[in-house]
Structure 1
Amino acid sequence: MPTRRTILQLPLLAWAALGALGVRAQSATPPEISTELPTALAAGSSRMRFFGLSIYDAKLWVTPGFKAATYAQHPLALELTYLRALSGKAIAERSLTEMRRAGPLPAATEARWLAAMQAAFPDVKEGDRITGVHLPAVGARFYVNRQLRSTITDAEFSRLFFGIWLSDATSEPRLRQELLAGVPG
């Protein structure tokens, strides 16, 4: 027979259970990542700021066995949720600038990659999401607000693009460290 104390604890237990369900729902794997990388787990997240302005929230999803030092050899996904409006052209141009940090690129390659990114990245507003999926030795797929928008079948492009966030040469080492926070070793 339940005691008065047990009866009084029931609402607290129910509240705790609902809270736990809410946390799980918020951290659920997005459908495009579940489809592309069924075994992916969230590794870390961070907020990108530029001169104090919040630009986007980033979340890295990795597959079992992922190692940061060899990120380009592992399937992964990077989800960016924009916190302000930006033009797709500006996103593509900044991405190319960051990709150049790995070394000079032939002009024809730069032109081809810039055109591909301008097609992949639309103008974004607060709340829009762009998810990039790195497929080793294949290239990258880009989803905008959960819908497939572009596939770039160029493994070197994909390595350098995701290197913007994951390479040791990144311009944002704090962001990299936070994205990789849940990666063992």
Structure 2
Amino acid sequence: MMIQYFTKNGFALFMMLSLISSLGLANNITHIEDVIKQVQPQGAGRLNFWGLHIYDATLYRSLGKDSSEFALDVRYQKSFSGKAIASRTVDEMKNIGVPESQAMAWGKELAEILPNVEPGQTLTGVYSSQQGTTLFYEGKKIAQIPGADFSKAFFGIWLSPKTSAPKLRAELLGNGCPPPIISGAC
């Protein structure tokens, strides 16, 4: 009886892990846990544009009760220059209501920070109220941008109700609420 139960549930677990791995969502999150202790995925999704698979993203939340800390891990499936990512970030920030002058200033800073990415590589943003936004490339810290204003604008690209990718937002949030910095209470 126990062997049958284990085999049946073990197979289901194996299939679930295989699916997550095939979607590119099974990531090493040590760098996230260096900033936020004890995290778990809240949701994951895929961005497609004109039928092209652009990237997979996973939203991680702290297990701490009432914690505002979270991370967004993006695994690219296409090659992009850091400057192209920064430019798109500016456009998306303006789309959610960030004033153009502020979005452009942040975009200029990001263009100097963000590396070129190849398929399978990750960029991760981690938010904590004490540190602001910490950016990682392939698990290595590349920048820390203090303050809540940048964090709200940057993560709002994916998590704001005004996002240009509402399907991805819904997948990232799953059955949960957005982080407080994005929406306040849920």
TM interval, short-chain normalised: 0.7 to 0.9
Post-superposition Cα deviations, 1:20-57, rounded to whole Å, max 9, x if no partner, equal 5x939965761011111112210010010111111000
Q: Which runs of 4+ in 1 moved over 6 A?
A: none
> How much identity, in percent, do the aligned residues show?
31
Task: Report if aligned partners of 1:119, 1:150 keep a CA contact under 8 Å in 2.
Answer: no
1:153–1:178 distance in 2 versus 1, CA, 3 Å: same
Post-superposition Cα deviations, 1:114-139, rounded to whole Å, max 9, x if no partner, equal 12211331110001100101123642
Task: Report if aligned partners of 1:116, 1:152 keep a CA contact under 8 Å in 2.
Answer: no
SS in structure 2 of the partner of residue 90 of structure 1: helix
Q: Quick one: which amino acid aligns to residue 61 of structure 2?
A: V
Q: Considering only aligned residues, what root-mean-square deviation do their CA atoms show, in Å?
A: 3.3
1:100–1:50 distance in 2 versus 1, CA, 3 Å: same
1:50–1:66 distance in 2 versus 1, CA, 3 Å: farther
Query: Which of 121, 145, 150 pairs up with 1:157?
Result: 150
Task: Report if aligned partners of 1:66, 1:183 keep a CA contact under 8 Å in 2.
Answer: no
- Cα distance in 1 between the residues matched to 2:33 and 2:70: 11
Alignment correspondent of 2:182:
none
Alignment correspondent of 1:84:
78
Q: Mean alpha-carbon deviation: is it higher for 151-160 or for 165-174?
A: 151-160
Structure 1 residues not aligned, in runs of 5+: 68-72
Following superposition, the deviation at residue 155 of structure 1 comes to 1.7
Task: Give TM-score scaled by structure 2 length.
Answer: 0.78
Task: Give TM-score scaled by structure 1 length.
Answer: 0.78
Alignment correspondent of 2:111:
118
- Cα distance in 2 between the residues matched to 1:29 and 1:89: 26
Query: Which of 162, 165, 180 pairs up with 1:169?
Result: 162
Q: Quick one: which amino acid aligns to residue 177 of structure 1?
A: A
Structure 2 residues not aligned, in runs of 5+: 178-185
